[in-house]
Amino acid sequence: MKFLHTCVRVKDLDASLKFYQDALGFKEARRRDFPEHKFTIVYLTLDDDPDYELELTYNYDHEAYDLGNGYGHIAVGVDDLEGSHKAHQDAGYTVTDLSGLPGRPKMYYFITDPDGYKIEIIDLKKFNA
């Protein structure tokens, strides 16, 4: 088996694409439009992990999604946690303070996308330590 993608349903495809591209460095890999069925799917990848995709599904004219309490987060690793955190703050994104697991050094923070989904940004140097 192989892990292929994670699907996130989005209210505003343009705003979501801008967020995932500008804030997290994703690139659009492919797009599938189904106007007769009123939805578009956009697959995004990261340069360092081109085999795994984030799927943004846009259903035309859909109201905002209820995130519920079952969704946790998507995680993305970075080489410079503090630099990434500062850049996201400076860009005006909603981010948490740097944090760590109990008894562990600060190694992550969360950023919120336009639909309210949380993305965990993890320091790659500390992730497997």
* pLDDT 10s digits, 20-65: 999 999 999 999 999 999 999 999 999 999 899 999 999 999 988 8
Which residues are annotated as catalytic?
A: 120
pLDDT of residue 126: 86
Q: Averaged over 115-120, what is the pLDDT?
A: 94
Same domain, yes or no, for 56 and 20?
yes
Same domain, yes or no, for 9 and 36?
yes
The model's pLDDT over 85-109, given as tens digits with 9 standing for 90+, comes to: 999 999 999 999 999 988 889 999 9
Same domain, yes or no, for 83 and 112?
yes
Vertex 121 angle, CA 119 and 125, to 5°: 155
Element counts in the chain: helices (H) and strands (E): 3, 7
Same domain, yes or no, for 77 and 104?
yes
- Owning domain of residue 32: 1-63
Q: Which of 39, 63, 87 is the last residue of a domain?
A: 63
CATH at 78: 3.10.180.10
What are the distances in angstroms from CA 40 to CA 47, 56, 58, 87, 127? 23, 8, 5, 30, 34
Q: Which of 63, 81, 114 is the last residue of a domain?
A: 63
Whole-angstrom distance, CA of residue 24 vs CA of residue 6: 15
